[in-house]
Structure 1
């Protein structure tokens, strides 16, 4: 019996930065434990029918096309119009009036080129997980399902086992030359998109450049630092000095003690790890690179040291006393209200948005990205923010698809040179122009006359942050075009990220056990975090806190994580 669990955020990975906001990460465990959803009748039926051997993946429908379509003189995939149904979320970061991806110029052009029309099935915003599960329970699968398969119980490998989607390895080898070329040239990509047994279940969203994997970090008011003659802090001690100066020396110059030295939001400070990584751990699962063992941050003695420091900062008034109740709208108001000295941001939706909002309103307002802090001067920061090459988002072909070969060719088009240009940059002459071989976004994207943000304006033409696609570095270079953005990305990338775990595959049983334990663990950890920081719980109670986490079953979950990581290494 499989218990369906799913939760989808925002944003992001959105312009990539917005999607990523939502993804902080966006982490597979926060997704899995976010909500326990309905049982999927279709999954249960196929998984318990007894007609398919254990571990055997779904075979294509007998009615599916297995004959290779003849080559067509005009380059089309089909000789007569073909419609494929396609389930995919529709980003909220889109122009007004755009109600379907069929309204996007890239998909209009793709239909002209290939002869294939996509009948998009967009779930209602806020109801994505429920409608995904209802779709599965109905057994009425669309031809293509684009989803973050890490949030499917047991991951993509279990969706294969349960018969919802089909194995793609042979189809990729025979009919997807663009993706095959990419995988052959990049074994690490193949490793990340495969299951532990080597099966490929989706056409993936890929970011294969370090510049694309980091988008988030700490920023400070550079004009405040300059006014107080302070340098960008690099250690916890230097951070304390800067924050204390922000509080006491009236850097906003209004004669009032109203500055908020450091603002973190609920759900981001305790899971974002922007300060905690100075102690070399995360408040989540991570890899101890010295031992090769998976650990959980809240169990470590360093976590107590971190809490002690944060408690001291909070008591001194260096952390916003209302951080636990501050939402995005309130945070934006505080930052643009000239009150916040330091906070965590994305490079696009944070630095870019704030600089644009204050342009012409505050003549000296400026931001600077800060390195992830360390305890000792000169040490390299550890565990900065970094996404995996493949985060689980992919377009899978359902078992009900009767035009598999045509679908494979259609999806593969995006990985080719022309398809990659089309979906990363849009239409030549409209959304971009070539300048000495470099695709430069047009003013309609970069300086939209209606005031649309970069990511929103671009979505009219292209979608370089969905599946299937290999994202182009030149997209991010222009998304983060301001000097402050470029410098922040360069700074945030300078971290030792070997302790980040790759995307792991869990069996259905492991996924169910993990979800059952981690839902309670995260709730308790979250509650105690605030109590420790605010002084409602004495730091001396830390050992009792750890003991309770272990009694909740956290050690059993660590064994599951370790087993999954060991399997990953053997892929």
Structure 2
């Protein structure tokens, strides 16, 4: 029994060592990048193709390939595998390539463990779709260790569509490279600003009408509206059971959401002003934010259970006619709730409000605005046998035909060209099987989540089919967002130190923020809170972000 225990411990230690070495070996500076290998294969017509040394026309699509990717939740609701998606069935017809999709667990923690184990084992598929900027050591380290390939030369030779796109969009070309110039994946790109704004404050419009108030624009106006929701029985049941506002504190701290915090002119975490990086939770404005939230919580304007309310509980509070104000998504919340309540409560209505400010008439400093590129892409592993052919296959998504396939599905089935505009058919917009539009789309295309392609704004113009959603896009877009950080790349050494610092910072700051708001920690201890963050190394983390920002600007 002791020998078995020792073996298990030794196996666990070896696995951990493999994970670290796989992701961090680049620290030595040795360049172990895997080079394309000589090989041959058949194209979609069964003709032999040379994989190296030839022109673009000499390389065919791969006969088969393995592809690791997380399974989107809307796909998983009705399908088991990306092979079942209509566009991938069509893509196999067009290219002759049989793809073996491999999906990790839906649980994010387990998926990360599976990803790390896969890299540590060196048993890699041909293509790995992941957010590479979040990988330990960063994407350049993954290239240097041979985990994935540097794609610059391969793209230049075998990806004419993607190459052309980068030439026409130098701002995107800058984003998708490491600081040393390596292109490491075929990226997911949001192709228009309309696709980058999809989250913000939402109010019950019918409740506003009942209390004779407009959607607020300032924090003072917010407070007056929330007090009216609390006191004037807008749900009309004769009980004082309304929840004026659901604060999602994790989304205050989320740099992709920035809910409410922008009213004070800062982000909760890293932001930059004129090229100088700052950290929000050590700024005096953050104490002002906490002070206001503490007051609202004490006065019953914030859901008393806000810290424990998950998505399902939020749904129940909205559809149960209890919640008046929340931050949400234009599709998954605003559109979804309006659809769910259409028959249940015909008077139910929602309206998007502007991101709040402190001064009347001011433009919001910060709201939600996604980046065109956030690090997600399909990389080719160092174990791939036919990288040239795989590059050609991935490049198809950036062609005109591939762009339509990924965004709109199969012509004549899920969309028709109407005066040059790819228009979704009733199979998508009015699914006879009772599927919501988002679930119906997920069966046929990747437009409504992500993938290695350029997302088309014409998808969202049809997805946001309600006036409330269209108005939300216009309303939430009215924010400066100049203080948002661009997508940065850390070195392996920086990444290791930064992760160590931020693990402590995020755990402590998340807990203390809740304690301050709920009154379990006096706001007089805010300076001690800041001192503790500095002991954890937050100033060093700011310097790391500053160095990465400087390198990004110099690309």
Indicate whether the TM-score tops 0.5: yes
1:495 and 1:542 map into 2 onto residues whose CA distance is 29
How far apart are residue 527 of structure 1 and its match? Answer: 1.1
What is the aligned counterpart of 2:382 among 399, 403, 415?
Answer: 399
How far apart are residue 508 of structure 1 and its match? Answer: 1.2
Larger mean CA deviation between 345-354 and 149-158 belongs to 149-158
Quick check: 1:525 aligned with 2:509? yes
TM-score (ref. length: structure 1): 0.89
Quick check: 1:497 aligned with 2:474? no
Q: Note if contact 2:124-2:383 (Cα within 8 Å) is conserved in structure 1.
A: yes
Rate the CA distance shift 1:401–1:235 in 2: closer, same or farther, 3 A. Answer: same
Residue in 1 aligned with 2:53? 67
TM-score (ref. length: structure 2): 0.91
Gaps of 5+ in 1: 1-36
Quick check: 1:418 aligned with 2:398? no
Quick check: 1:197 aligned with 2:180? yes
Residue in 2 aligned with 1:510? 494
What is the aligned counterpart of 1:249 among 226, 232, 236?
Answer: 232
Secondary structure at the aligned position of 1:374 is classed as coil
Secondary structure at the aligned position of 1:360 is classed as helix
Counting only pairs closer than 5 Å after superposition, residues 539-558 of structure 1 correspond to structure 2 as 539-558=523-542
What is the aligned counterpart of 2:281 among 298, 320, 330?
Answer: 298
Please give the per-residue CA displacement for 1:449-487, whole angstroms capped at 9, x wherever unaligned.
222222211111111233210000011112211100010
Q: Note if contact 2:196-2:372 (Cα within 8 Å) is conserved in structure 1.
A: yes
Residue in 2 aligned with 1:538? 522
How far apart are residue 61 of structure 1 and its match? Answer: 4.6
Quick check: 1:116 aligned with 2:91? no
1:315 and 1:377 map into 2 onto residues whose CA distance is 25
Q: Note if contact 1:223-1:367 (Cα within 8 Å) is conserved in structure 2.
A: yes
Residue in 2 aligned with 1:275? 260
Structure having the higher helix fraction is 2
Residue in 2 aligned with 1:223? 206
RMSD between superposed Cα atoms in Å: 2.0
1:361 and 1:472 map into 2 onto residues whose CA distance is 34
How far apart are residue 154 of structure 1 and its match? Answer: 2.2
Rate the CA distance shift 1:38–1:531 in 2: closer, same or farther, 3 A. Answer: farther
Q: Note if contact 1:266-1:325 (Cα within 8 Å) is conserved in structure 2.
A: no
How far apart are residue 346 of structure 1 and its match? Answer: 0.4
Residue in 2 aligned with 1:287? 272
Residue in 2 aligned with 1:87? 68
Q: Note if contact 1:58-1:163 (Cα within 8 Å) is conserved in structure 2.
A: yes
Gaps of 5+ in 2: 1-13, 40-50
Counting only pairs closer than 5 Å after superposition, residues 162-561 of structure 1 correspond to structure 2 as 162-271=145-254, 272-289=257-274, 292-464=275-447, 465-561=449-545
Report how many aligned residue pairs link the two structures.
526
Rate the CA distance shift 1:61–1:413 in 2: closer, same or farther, 3 A. Answer: closer
How far apart are residue 147 of structure 1 and its match? Answer: 0.6
1:450 and 1:539 map into 2 onto residues whose CA distance is 54
Rate the CA distance shift 1:39–1:61 in 2: closer, same or farther, 3 A. Answer: farther
How far apart are residue 63 of structure 1 and its match? Answer: 4.3
